[in-house]
Amino acid sequence: MSPLNAQANFAKMRPRLIRRALQQLARGAGVRENFEGQLSRFFDMLEQALETGDTAWMDAIILEWVSSKTQTDIAEGQKNATALLTILFTLATETAREEMNAEEALDAITAVQPIFTYALDKAARLEMENRVAYFANEIASVQQKLEQLDRSKSNFISVAAHELKTPLTLIEGYTSMMRDSSSDPNSESDPLLNGVRTGIQRLRQIVDDMIDVSLIDNNMLSLNSQPLWLSHILDMLQKNLNDTIKERCLNLEIKKFPGSQDWLYADPERLYQAFQNLLTNGIKYTPDGGSLAVDGRTLPGFVEVTFTDTGIGISPEDQERIFEKFGQLGRADLHSSSKVKFKGGGPGLGLSITRGIIEAHGGTIWVESEGYDEKNCPGSTFHILLPVRTESADPRLSKLFGDLTKPKEEKNVEKETRINPPAS
Ligand code: ADP
């Protein structure tokens, strides 16, 4: 059959087809009137496409249907353009079968099918693009809300920390005056004064952490870089944590790993703080009798330090979250009575500060753990990658220490800087 015949046959069944489509798709007089207009336009375009053999005639109406804000504009209900086109094609097939003999019906359907296929493909693509744009928009707005929330958190921490600092300093001052002015020669062991002192120290620690978090949030953490050996810092930590380790019947092994006794520029106090946070966490989340180990290796341009424990572990879905501020996990049985007791909880600032310190050094930190299991204790390993800086950004320090990669005899660094070498 020629396209002209197909067109004539299609024109014949058009009024019936429109009636059926209206019955099926549009309820209510207002919707029906509007939809009837749109259907007429659709079939006008379809006839043009049939006549010319150019499917692009359908573009305008498809674009209009896809971008119509609510689908009630074109049909009542939640139908989208692709669903609507599918229904129209089914109705066209049924109507052709009813209105024409088998051969004419087959010809008419065969003629319109490529046009419907083109229209469906176009509508599906446009709808997908619309959907992607919609979700991209939603994501951007959620992101904006999260950033706002993060800013509020930061502001809160910063204001709270600075407001608490002054009264805390006053309390510290008055308590030490009370101790000094006490006529009791045993005031040092007064349990009441000691209780107050422990409470103040804990509060001071929290306020200091809050100040550090707000410095990191505002990119204001400044490093005081000096030449150091990582093993030196780790040895000091081992000494300072010795009593706690004993008290908790833990075993702490700090290995002398490649790179730990090479000079590099970093901030010793801040690194001490970062390593201490990781070790005290290891102590806190490992049951009595467990083990902690510090090891490492050199990589091109970096030194890697690992902190491993045989503790309760961290589930994969929490391994990113714990580095966020207030990233403590909602475990019901945590208690905040102590910084080192098993499962002694905290405000959840330690790892966020640790990450801030490591990133300020140009390094990175992550954790690996098989998961959280208090019975089998799969343990966790925190990895730190630190860039090995052998030249200082400060020209005065460079002049003083020279190039750290040169052998020690040449620079005589130890004599000049009075930095003690680590105990071997
Ligand atoms: P805090 O210890 O004060 O809660 P941190 O920022 O140091 O805060 O740690 C965040 C959370 O990460 C902790 O509450 C704990 O749930 C989890 N976590 C940290 N270190 C370990 C570890 N070594 N083993 C198991 N869980 C850990």
Distance 329 CA to ligand 1 centre (A): 7
Q: Percent helix, strand, coil in the chain (nearest 5)?
A: 60, 10, 30
- 285 CB under 6 A from ligand 1? yes
Supply the residue whose CA is at minimum distance from atom 14 of ligand 1: 328
Residues contacting 181, CB < 8 A, separation 6+: none
Is the model's pLDDT at 76 over the cut of 50?
Answer: no
* Ligand 1 atom nearest 311 alpha carbon: 24
DSSP string, 274-308: HHHHHHHHHHHTS-TT-EEEEEEEEETTEEEEEEE
CB-based contacts of 403, cutoff 8 Å, min separation 6: 390, 391, 411
* Top-confidence range, 11-25, 40-54, 212-226, 272-286: 272-286
pLDDT at position 33 is 75
Angle between helices 350-360 and 191-217 (to 10 degrees): 50
User: Could you tell me the distance, in angstroms and rounded to a whole number, from the CA of residue 408 to the centre of ligand 1?
Assistant: 40
List the residue whose alpha carbon is closest to atom 20 of ligand 1. Answer: 281
Q: For residue 169, what are the CA distances in angstroms to 107, 159, 193, 198, 323?
A: 93, 16, 16, 14, 29
Is 353 a pocket residue for ligand 1 (Cβ < 6 Å)?
A: no
The residue whose two tokens read 């902190």 is: 307
CB hemisphere CA count around 126 (13 angstroms): 19
* pLDDT tens, residue by residue, 333-356: 655 556 677 877 777 899 999 999
| Tokens 């419907």, residue located | 116
Confidence of residue 245 (pLDDT cuts 50, 70, 90): very high
Q: How does the average pLDDT of the chain come out, rounded?
A: 86
Kindly report the protein residue whose alpha carbon is nearest to atom 8 of ligand 1: 348
Q: Which atom of ligand 1 is nearest to the CA of 349?
A: 6
State the amino acid at position 218 in one-letter form: N
What's the pTM? 0.67
CB of 311 sitting under 6 A from ligand 1: yes
322 lines ligand 1 (CB under 6 A): yes
User: Averaging pLDDT over each range in 133-137, 193-197, 227-231, 389-393, which range is the top one?
Assistant: 227-231
Is the CB of residue 38 below 6 angstroms from any atom belonging to ligand 1? no
- Separation CA 158–CA 161 (nearest Å): 5
Residue 256 CA to ligand 1 center (angstroms) comes to 26
- Give the three-class secondary structure for 387: strand
Characterise 301 by phi-psi region: left (phi > 0), alpha (psi -120 to 50), beta (else).
left
